[in-house]
Amino acid sequence: MTRRRVVITGIGMISPLGIGNEPTWQGLLEGRSGIGPITKFDATDYACRIAGEVKGFDPEKWIEKKEIKKSDTFIHYAVAAAQMAVDDSGLDTLKEDPDRLGVIIGSGIGGLPLIEETHRKLLEKGPSRISPFFIPGLIVNLAAGHVSIRFKAQGPSSAPATACATGAHAIGDAFRIIQHDDADIMFGGGSEAVITPLAVGGFSAMRALSTRNDEPQRASRPWDAGRDGFVMGEGAGILIIEEREHAIARGAKIYCEITGYGMSSDAFHITSPSEDGSGMMRVMQRALKDARLQPTDIQYINAHGTSTPVGDKTETIAVKRVFADHAYKLAVSSTKSMTGHLLGAAGGLESAITALAIINRILPPTINYEVPDPECDLDYVPNKARPMDLVHAMSNSFGFGGTNATLIFSRHDG
């Protein structure tokens, strides 16, 4: 069966490096860190007091003022990033068949800030003060819901919630929907905004977060021997994903083609990856098979690379198992070294970054790579961006519960 080809025609990014595509991309190429002290609440008594916060975001630029209090920040980020992606794509959604336009935008956690705020209000003022918009303001699928309503998208609508693999699963699912002729255009990606007392406290209790509080910009250091945990980030990454012929017919700018998607489960532990990297290995192999590529075709991996001792080591093992000798010819970088870990939004943002790396022919670096770990011995594009004539690139996202997603992006042949 001939498969429909699928391309990326629009990008919208909100990250700790900036609001919009240009500031985020330039920050990455400059090797700039978006990590700093937490300002969203008083973190004095917390083990981790640093995060990658989005600075200067004004929801009124994208959402009517009276609507803002009816929904959580992760929804605001999703709507804003979706609008950015539409503007970037040149798409006039009102001229498209609404039944052929769909939305898959997920979140790993959803509206936790609104939950915490409403719980305080309940305790202080009683149940009569709970807003009727509380539930629709926090549930994960309402990011997709708001985007669907805004752009009159009446096609497939869904919201994966697969922890830190969410954004990648959303894009992969959107890709498959277009391949299978169930839509021509899809929004795909993730959004997250949970730098809150409960979330930071919860991840700290797991000892998952970096405690390099005195050096926030140096705290996220994937594969470095001194890494001590991930740094939470927030933001959104939304793509316009389109059937190739449809995009060409309307004269769209094409960033790259999505050529492969894989899914797997470690079936091992609620938070830790399988020690031999087998789940990560299988998801990369499935994406390669789906793309009809050989391991030697891949030149670059935008890795999951969270800066945790176990996770980075395991991903390195998995890459070696998949790519064998070619692993040492690959460039592998983690942009989480600059953005922090956006949890459910990470896969969306990192897919956008990979698409930009392909079209601009330059790799973002892994910053803070200072002391090599003997068990992590690949080419991690240390500290400086690197020109590369990219044809095929891979992006990995792995989540709690052992859920894994891999996407493959390829230069569009015109």
- Predicted model pTM: 0.98
Give the residue-averaged pLDDT of 242-259.
98
What local confidence, expressed as pLDDT, does residue 167 receive?
Answer: 98
Regarding beta strands 300-302 and 392-399, do their DSSP bridges make them parallel or antiparallel, or are they unpaired?
parallel
Indicate whether 68 and 103 sit together in one domain: yes
Say what the pLDDT of residue 104 is: 98
> How far apart (Å, rounded) are the C-alpha atoms in residues 347 and 335?
11
- The confidence score (pLDDT) of residue 6 equals 98
* Helix (H/G/I), strand (E/B), else coil: 255: coil
Tokens of 261: 């998607």
349-378 pLDDT, tens digit per residue, is 999 999 999 999 999 999 999 999 999 999
Tell which phi-psi region holds residue 235, choosing left (phi > 0), alpha (psi between -120 and 50) or beta: left
Q: Are residues 85 and 21 in the same domain?
A: yes
202 and 53 within one domain? yes
| End residue of a domain, out of 223, 249, 275 | 249
Torsion of CA 264, 270, 273, 279, to 10 degrees: -20
Give the residue numbers annotated as catalytic, written as ranges: 164, 304, 341
Q: What's the rounded mean pLDDT across residues 44-50?
A: 98
pLDDT, mean over the chain: 97
Q: C-alpha angle with apex 206: 378 to 140, nearest 5 degrees?
A: 90
285: confidence class by pLDDT, cuts 50, 70, 90 = very high
Q: Structural domain tally of the chain?
A: 2
Distance CA 141, CA 238 (A): 15
Residue 12 DSSP SS3 = strand
Q: 2 pLDDT band (50/70/90 cuts)?
A: confident
Residues 235 and 379 in one domain: no
- Report helix, strand or coil for 275: coil
Regarding whether 366 and 245 lie in a shared domain, the answer is: no
Q: In this structure, is residue 38 part of a structural domain?
A: yes
Measure CA of the first residue to CA of the last residue in the chain; give whole Å: 22
With beta carbons less than 8 A apart as the criterion, state whether 348 and 167 touch.
yes
Same domain, 212 and 92: yes
**CA dihedral (141, 142, 145, 147) positive or negative:** negative
Q: Is-contact 108 166, C-beta < 8 A? A: yes
47 and 83: one domain?
yes
- pLDDT score, position 260: 98
The DSSP symbol for 328 reads: G
Residue found by looking up tokens 């930071």 in the block: 200
- Give the residue numbers spanning the domain of 404: 258-410
Question: 33 with 77, same domain?
Answer: yes
- Asked if residue 91 has pLDDT above 80, the reply is yes
Residue 189 pLDDT more than 80? yes
CA nearest to 362, candidates 84, 25, 32: 25
Residue 231 lies in a domain: yes
Do 286 and 223 have their domain in common? no
Residue 413 has a pLDDT of 84
Is 1 inside any structural domain?
A: no
How many CB atoms are closer than 10 A to CB 97? 11
Which of 222, 249, 276 is the last residue before a domain boundary?
Answer: 249
The C-alpha atoms of residue 240 and residue 8 are separated, in whole angstroms, by 6
* Residue 226, helix vs strand vs coil: coil
| Residue 158 domain-assigned (yes or no) | yes
End residue of a domain, out of 204, 221, 249: 249
Torsion, CA 287, CA 278, CA 347, CA 106, rounded to 10: 100
**What average pLDDT score do residues 315-342 get?**
98
Domain CATH number, residue 232: 3.40.47.10
Residue 194 and residue 309 in one domain: no
Distance separating alpha carbons of residues 261 and 76, to the nearest angstrom: 28
pLDDT above 80: residue 249:
yes
Q: Is residue 61 part of a domain?
A: yes
Residues 121 and 22 in one domain: yes
Within a domain: residue 2?
no
- Residue closest to 144 by CA, chosen among 193, 74, 88: 74
Closest CA to 305 of 384, 394, 234, 387: 394
Q: What is the pLDDT of residue 1?
A: 65
Average confidence (pLDDT) over 293-308? 98
* Longest CA pairwise span in the chain (Å): 64
pLDDT in tens, 16-26: 999 999 999 99
Residues 172 and 31 in one domain: yes
Can you tell me the distance from the alpha carbon of 266 to that of 269, in angstroms, rounded to the nearest whole number? Answer: 8
Domain-embedded: residue 341: yes
Query: Which two three-digit tokens encode residue 112?
Result: 């936790």
